[in-house]
Amino acid sequence: MSTANKIDPRTTGYAPVNGLNMYYEIYGEGAPIVLVHGSFMTIDMNYGKLIPELARTRKIIAYEIQGHGRTADIDRPFSFPALADDIAGLLAYLEMPKADILGFSLGAAVGLQLAISHPQVVNKLVFISCTFRTSGWSKEARDFFLDMKGDDLDKTPLKPEYDRLAPDKDHWRTFVSKMILFDNVLYDFGADKVQTVQSPVLMIFGDNDGIDLGHVAEMYRLLGGSICGDKDGLPVSQLAILPGATHSGLMNQTARLMDLITPFLDSRRS
């Protein structure tokens, strides 16, 4: 992770939410946006490059989900509804009735679950590189999840970051095992539930990020897209597919992402 443009948060803290002691950081001023990171990640690892750009015009609430970074794990299985409830709880604790949500990978799915189960707290959703059902991942991606072993991550940058931040460094193996189990649970939010989402959604994918493009098109149609805009007008939701982009490389494309995210968030269409 590059730290060339890193900025310090103006506020940090821990929120008592659903049995968690949830770590959060706040940057900038303006309309609030919550950043939800991906599996095994932390605030810095996932959003270190994007935060300085977003914080120029917006209030950022970045937090670390159950068992990640500085948020200790609890005796609760990982699930999309529980993780979405945690965001709703964090916003209530911070006395923020509504916010935009930006999520990557696991964080995108959690943001979508939030828009389904707590629609009143979601203004707009930026959904980066994930699916609303397991079968939306390519076969190669699903095989990768199935083949992952507990010690595969020991020699990646994830382990030293966990050792640096985690309240209990000895919990690493248990944490990894729980996450691998969660990553291999079949899920399906339901096309009918996705279709009920009222928040405008910006969907961002790489052209080779392990997600089936047919699934991408299906989700966009469910959100009101894939229409004849010249005849019917543009839908409130948008779709972007970045060329030459992988799942792990998407979040490094800061300028490209900001060129998409900023006009979407600033648009008055809703």
Cα angle at 267 between 265 and 270, to 5 degrees?
A: 95
Report the candidate in 78, 128, 131, 75 with the shortest Cα–Cα distance to residue 103. Answer: 128
**How are beta strands 31-36 and 58-63 bridged, if at all?**
parallel
The pTM score is: 0.95
What are the start-end ranges of the H helices in the chain?
43-47, 51-54, 80-93, 106-117, 139-147, 158-165, 172-183, 191-194, 213-222, 229-232, 254-266
Tell me, rounded to whole angstroms, the distance of Cα 95 from its chain centroid: 21
Q: Which of 239, 23, 15 is nearest to 127 (CA)?
A: 239
CATH 3.40.50.1820 fits 11-265, yes or no: yes
Query: What's the distance, CA 26 to chain centroid?
Result: 17
Low-confidence ranges of the chain (pLDDT < 70): 1-4, 269-270
Give per-residue pLDDT as tens, 114-171.
Answer: 999 999 999 999 999 999 999 999 999 988 888 888 788 998 999 999 999 999 999 9
Report how far residue 83's alpha carbon sits from residue 38's, in angstroms, rounded to the nearest whole number.
12
Q: What are the tens digits of pLDDT across the range 201-217?
A: 999 999 999 999 999 99
Answer for the pair 44, 12: CB distance below 8 angstroms, yes or no: no
- Distance between CA atoms of 236 and 138, rounded to whole angstroms? 28
pLDDT (0 to 100) of residue 4: 53
Determine contact, residues 193/81, Cβ cutoff 8 Å.
no
